[in-house]
Amino acid sequence: SVTLSDSKIQLYKGNSAFLTCAVTDTSGNYIDTSATYKSDNLSVAKVSTQGKIVAVGPGEATITVKAKGISKTCKVIVRPQKVSGIKTISRTKNSIQLKWKKQSNISKYQILMYDKDLGEYTVVKSVNGKPISPHFFSLHFIVNTEFH
């Protein structure tokens, strides 16, 4: 059988990761064999003959690995680099206005909120990029209570 180290990899533009391939016989013994790696979207992710994936630009790509006539795939999601230089313009109890410099070749920004209880980020708002710099965004919060 053919097994990949990952079925899904998320990277930021400019970062890299390795995708490894293991081939075993019916007894579970590892077989020393070569594998080929191919990206279906080179503008998003490139992959070397050794499985090194380089995140080229935002988007999605599928890496196909072929060994012993068997193909397996890994989905690669490349996120844009995090926005830097975010500044708070104004803040009230229920709203915040943010300012940042627009990145080139980015058409949409996502505002995320981290929930430390769940340990994950949630998309609060998506903002279309405009051909101006700096970019402004206002977010209004409404907090509801819930009875159990």
Whether 2 has a pLDDT exceeding 90, the answer reads yes
Whether 132 has a pLDDT exceeding 60, the answer reads no
Label residue 84 by pLDDT band (50, 70, 90).
confident
Q: What is the predicted pLDDT for the residue at 131?
A: 41
Q: Give the tens place of pLDDT for each residue, 17-52.
A: 999 999 999 898 999 889 999 999 999 999 999 999
Whether 95 has a pLDDT exceeding 90, the answer reads no
Tokens of 37: 């790696």
For residues 63-90, give the mean pLDDT: 88
> For residue 50, what are the β-bridge partners?
none
Give the global pTM: 0.62
Whether 6 has a pLDDT exceeding 90, the answer reads yes
Residues 70 and 72: their CA atoms lie apart, in Å, by 7
Phi/psi region, residue 15 (left: phi>0; alpha: psi -120 to 50; beta: rest), is: beta
Supply the DSSP string of 19-50, one letter for each residue.
Answer: --EEEB-TTS-B-----EEEES-TTTEEE-TT
